[in-house]
Amino acid sequence: MRPLFIAFLLLVMAGCSAVFTDVDGYVDDSSDADSDSDSDSDTDSDSDTDADTDSDTDTDSDTDSDSDTDVDTDTDSDTDSDTDTDVDTDTDTDIDVDLDALWTVYSDGYVVSAPLHGYASIITTGDTTVTPTDFSTVAPGNRLCMSGTVGDGNESTAQLAISLNQEWGGSPLNRDEYVPQPGGFYLDYSTVGTFPLQLEIADDDGNVWCTRRIQQSGTSVPFESLLEECWLGDAQPSYNYEEITHIKLVVPGTTGAATPYSFCLNGLWTWTDSVCDNSTVTMTADGIVDDFDNGGLDILMADGAYTGFWIAAGDDATGGTQTITVEEQDGNPTLHVVGSGYEGWGSFVGSVWGPQACLNAASFTGIAFDFKGISATDLYLKVGTAATFPSEYGGDCAADCYDHHRYLITPSAAFVNVQVPWTALTQNGFGTPADFDPHRILRFEFAPDPDTTNDYDFWIDNIRFY
């Protein structure tokens, strides 16, 4: 029995073991089946997830596009702007402004006329209109021009002011005093119409010295001729070389009517006594004075050794008229001079070197030029030197001045080349006798003789030493 029982017990235990295994397998199988089923469901969910993921990927692609746009725009804009601004500003300030230059206009109306340098500005008082309102847009090398109408009454003015000792980039009032050497100012300006124009110098404390009226362009204004508050009369004290800070060209108002005005300042220089002892330019080997190829009345030697301009002047008391222009003749820019009616001391067209430089042409034989002109008026070439000009024009002459050495030009209906050796120049005889000195030339003049029929029309080109 015991063996049978044991065998039975083993059989039962084996069956129980099979049942538990089946249960575990069922549970496992069911769990696996459910899990598989769920897994299928999850597979659908995964599909959704994949779709979402694809959608997200598209969104990311858009983000990348935005990022590219922002980066490109910022980089281009910042880089170009910074580079251009920094380079241009530094270059203009460090290289272009030459405080030893003759009359030169830079950007923003900064002016250099050694030893003077400062900003030009426009001032109006009373009922006055002006164009432009400042010189901030004036291109380098241009003239300083303004126009408008000065209102009725003495309280109205239009003023072109220039600081005399102001650094580049300085504020309007950041300027130092200037004390000139004995001498004066020399002005080159042009006007449209007729209106009064006066010169003023002043300090920052309200002290003013001025002229009653400038008569014509090419005017030399000795400092001693400037009177304190000149509008009060000729008995006012003269300027005595006090410290000054600025100079002005002023169009004053008049009582009873408004005054239209239009003028340009072409140049302003200081001169000192005995110019030829302080500012002598030795001519270069080509000897060119002016060929008028720049199309204007400015004089610029080929190597830039001096600048200057041509002026027209006459005895205004006799009511004459005169014009000077540069026009084409035979395909070349040429100086054209037309005038009539001058008596008294007559008229002339002359060269002015800035700032009243003295020319040393002693290495040459004489002066030559191309000429065309027919008239009953005798026309002279005159060469003014330090010996024939008074001190206010840079010369040494003390009395009976302006008797310049001259040469009578023969009329010609066609262009001819005229050569005038220094030995052919003689004085007229009314002034202080002086030897001609080619070391000390201050001016050339083409001057009709007022004692003959004073109507003239002539052309000049290619002026040079030979």
pLDDT tens profile 83-100: 444 444 444 444 478 887
Give the per-residue pLDDT at 305: 56
Please answer whether residues 257 and 210 qualify as being in contact, where contact means their C-beta atoms are separated by less than 8 angstroms.
Answer: no
Please answer whether residues 164 and 247 qualify as being in contact, where contact means their C-beta atoms are separated by less than 8 angstroms.
Answer: yes
Residue pLDDT, tens place only, 98-138? 887 778 899 999 999 878 999 999 999 999 999 999 999 99
For residue 321, pLDDT over 90 is answered with no
Please answer whether residues 356 and 427 qualify as being in contact, where contact means their C-beta atoms are separated by less than 8 angstroms.
Answer: no
Q: Phi/psi of residue 318, each to 5°?
A: -100, 0
Residue pLDDT, tens place only, 241-254? 999 999 999 999 98
Using CA atoms, how far residue 131 sits from 28, 35, 128, 135, 262, in Å, is: 102, 93, 10, 10, 9
Residue pLDDT, tens place only, 56-84? 444 444 444 444 444 444 444 444 444 44
pLDDT band at 451 (very low <50, low <70, confident <90, very high): confident
Give the per-residue pLDDT at 20: 35
DSSP 178: B
pLDDT band at 301 (very low <50, low <70, confident <90, very high): low
Most confident of 24-38, 262-276, 285-299: 285-299
Round to whole Å and give the CA distance between 251 and 460.
34
User: What three-state secondary structure class fits 346?
Assistant: coil
Round to whole Å and give the CA distance between 236 and 213.
15
Residue pLDDT, tens place only, 3-47? 444 444 444 444 444 333 333 333 333 334 343 434 333 434 443
Q: Which segments within 320-411 are labelled E, that is strand?
A: 321-329, 332-340, 347-354, 358-360, 366-373, 379-385, 405-409
For residue 354, pLDDT over 70 is answered with no
